[in-house]
Structure formats: structure tokens, C-alpha cells
Chain A
């Protein structure tokens, strides 16, 4: 456990050294400026639009940060030959993977929370009031980002950095669309390929389930039941563990 957090700390420090978080801060600043500009025009009654826009922008930026941060971790370690001194220490390969993945998740979470603060300030311009569903939105988004990091991490051990990032983006932005397509196809023809659809849907990462943006942006949606948050937490653990297992299977056999 100690090793994992030491490795994760290294990833966070490396990210700070590379000034990744500065990019996040600049994005946040731009968001506040944009909100200020909209507020300048005095658009009364646009609170729902502002919240919707905020949820969309947060989802977009945090996804980009999660994928870019995670996809380069292992390929960079191998390319820069910094992996060898690490493996020369009494660290198992699995520990290395867990530590790196935890580091990527922490960096993504920090970035997301920074963006949340900037967005929160921007929403104040529109006099948007805090609602409990917003806290649930942040919590579920953090879980979803962890799943996205683990998927990208697994892909980065199998393919090149660029390919891993591309495939991750496709899943991150397209999995909900694929799920909707499956549902529509099943509705049009309920008898056809029912079991195949279930398996395909089960294998696909369900990023859309972690996005409470629709509820948070619109009026009078109550908080999500606790069993749903529990289920999402369990799903995030299971899916991330499966991705970690795939990474370990590949990395463990890799001659370095």
C-alpha cells in the first residue's frame, strides 16, 4: 500500500513539474471569463442553460485531461527508460501498475476538482444556487473518471500512446451512443440478437451512467437513491480491477 501511494505521489509531482495543472487553471480562468461575458449581457432566466453548459464543459475537459494524463504514463516510462530504475527496486510489476494508475486517477481528480471550483465561481455569476444533486454529480463524475483512467491505462499497455488515447476518446464520447443504438435496435426488433446485445452492452464501459449532468442542470430533480451510488461504486471497482488485470497480464509478460 505504501509503495502504491509513493508511486502515485511521483505521478502527481511529475504532472505538477510538467505544469499540466496550469493548463487546467487556464481553462478554468477562460470558463470564468466566458461566464462573466454572458453575465455582462444580463441574460436573466438562463440559469438552466448556464448549468447545462457548465456540466458539458466540465465533462469535456475532465475527459480530455483523464485520457491525455493516463495514456502517456507507461509508454513514457518505457521510452524515457525511467522504468528500469523503478523495476530495479523491490517492487512487483503489479505494484508499479497500481501505483501509476492511482497517480493518474489522483491527477485527474485534482484537475476535475479545480475545474469544479472555477465552474462553481462562474455559476455564481448566474446566481445559481447549490443543490444536493450537484454534490452527487461531482461524486459520480469522480468515479466515472477513475473508470476512464483504468480503461486508458489498460489500452496504453496494449497499444501505442496515440492509439490508446484515440480509442479511449471513442469509448468516452461514443459508448453512450452505442448503448442507445443497441436499445433502439432492440426496440425495433425485440426478438433479434437479444443475448448478444446484453453481452455487448455489459462489456462496453458505461460512462454515461456516471453522468448526472442532466439532472443537475435542470430544475426539481431530486438526489439519486443511495443504492444507485453504491451500484456505481461497485461497478467502478469491478471494471477498474478488470482493466488493471488486463494491464497486468500484458505487462507481466512483456520483456523489458
Chain B
């Protein structure tokens, strides 16, 4: 009888502790995900399912790069390598620039013979792993990686890069049909992420650069601008994306001949990004007297 009572007391204690611990959840969960960790910890979800799906999407993201390089593993140059003038490889089609934010900053994980000290071990490594000389390399057709992006966004609809990079891949054929497909895909992304500046920017880029429709592009940039000014909490990536929103809105208004609007935009943009050289240059060009805010 005593043991039953003790067990009941222990179980009741665990239950009370379990309910009480929920109260500290808001304290330990950040209101905004940390950029860069986003692929793994979207929404700060601590549930098992949440962690599983974001880990899967993060893993698929890494895999997609691998498939585009047909299995050849690449890595960014370290800071020390950059200082030592180690040369990275370039892609012939510019896709590495799209995915990694710059060309010539990547090298193969398995080193080429001239970079390798391992002798015969290195030769065998190059023969058994998926290695080839990647100087001026080309990629597998980007569309081959699309199923992975479909999986990524299916597992984790809040993985923003899954939507934006997939749109770049969708529009790779550079024709109207491809661009419209990319826009449709991004609109699906917005329905899953209604507060995303980055996805709105991507739609606006497609309209402005590829479809030549500045007015629709302006609409989407204005939506992004409204989000930036709404005071909504957002991560660093989204906030940095806002810089492009202001720059592009400035250029589009210039091309549409809306100079009064330009001045407001520059002042507002500088209030968010006070050191941006493009906006500062525009401010100087338009003879705007800087206010205390920017």
C-alpha cells in the first residue's frame, strides 16, 4: 500500500513539474529564430517533430549542393586560406555565386594532387571518392535538385531558402513560362510564410529583372517595406534582405519618375540602414538634408 502511495506521489510530482515547466517556455524560446541556425531550429520549436523536420530540411539543403556538383564535395575557403592566397574554383554557369554568395570562394574537400601531401593515399582517395577537377566547372541541370527542394519545403515550410533558391532553379531556363512558374512557387512560399521579406523581394526581383514589370515588382517591394516598418520581430537574414528592398524601391521609383517618393524612401531606408553606401550616395545625389533619424 505504501509503495502504491509513494509511486502515486512521485507520478503526481512529475506531472506537476511537467505542467509548471511549460511556464518557462516563453523565456527559453527566442521570439525570433537566429539566422543561420534557422535551417535546423525554425520557429524555435523544441518539439521532437519540429526538430526532425528542420534537421531533415537542413540536411537536404546540404545534399542539394552536392547533387548540383554531381557528388563532388565542396567547402568554402577558410579565412587563413584566403590570407594565404589559396585560389578557389569558379563555376562556368555562375550558379555557385547564387548559392554561396560569391564565386571563387570554394574548393573541393578532397584536395587536388598539387594541394595534397598524402602521396598514394591521396591518389586512392581521389580515385574512390566522387572527385574531379572543378576549375571552371559546370553543374548538373539545376532542375535535377528540385525534388529535394520540394522535400525541404514539405518537411519545413518555414525554411525560406528552400523557397527562394528553388525559384532561382525554376527560372533557370530563362523564359516567361519558367519565370511564371517561379513566381507561383514563391507565392506558395508567402502563403506559408506571410511575414517573409525575402520571399517578397524574390518575387519582386523576378518581376523587375526577368519579366520587366516594374509596377508589380514595386507592389511586392512595398509589401516588404510595410513588413519592415510594422515592428514585427524578424531574424537577421530577413532584416538584411530589407536593405535590398529600399535600394530597389529607390531605383524603381527613379525609373518610374516618382522623385518625391524617392526622397521619402532614402530617408526611411537610412533610418534602418544608416551606413549603406548606396542609400548614402542617393541621398547625396538628391541633395537631401540628413535628419536625426538618417
Contacts and interface: CB of A to CB of B under 8 A. Distances in A.
A225 B148 contact: no
A248 B78 CA distance: 44
B149 to A, nearest CB: 11
Contact of A45 (B60, B80, B118, B147): B147
A188 B128 CA distance: 25
Given A184-B78, A188-B84, A198-B117, A212 B70 contact: no
B89 interface: no
Interface residues on A, range: 35 or more
A232 B121 CA distance: 10
B147 A198 contact: no
Contact of A218 (B60, B70, B84, B151): B70
A43 B151 contact: yes
Interface of chain B: mostly helix, strand, loop or mixed: helix
16 contacts: A43-B150, A49-B63, A49-B148, A49-B151, A140-B128, A179-B118, A183-B111, A184-B78, A187-B115, A188-B86, A198-B118, A212-B128, A218-B71, A221-B130, A231-B120, A232-B124
A232 B127 CA distance: 11
B116 interface: yes
Most buried by A among B63, B70, B124, B140: B124
A170 B60 CA distance: 25
Contacts, number: 96
Nearest to B73: A214
Interface residues on B, range: 20 to 34
B109 interface: yes
B147 A49 contact: yes
A209 B63 contact: no
A80 interface: no
Interface in B105-139: 109, 111, 115-121, 124-125, 127-130
Contacts of A212: 128-129
A188 B78 contact: yes
Interface in A98-154: 140
Contacts of A190: 117
B128 A183 contact: no
A44 B147 contact: yes
Contacts of A250: none
A7 interface: no
A180 B140 CA distance: 25
Contacts of B120: 231
B151 A46 contact: yes
B81 interface: yes
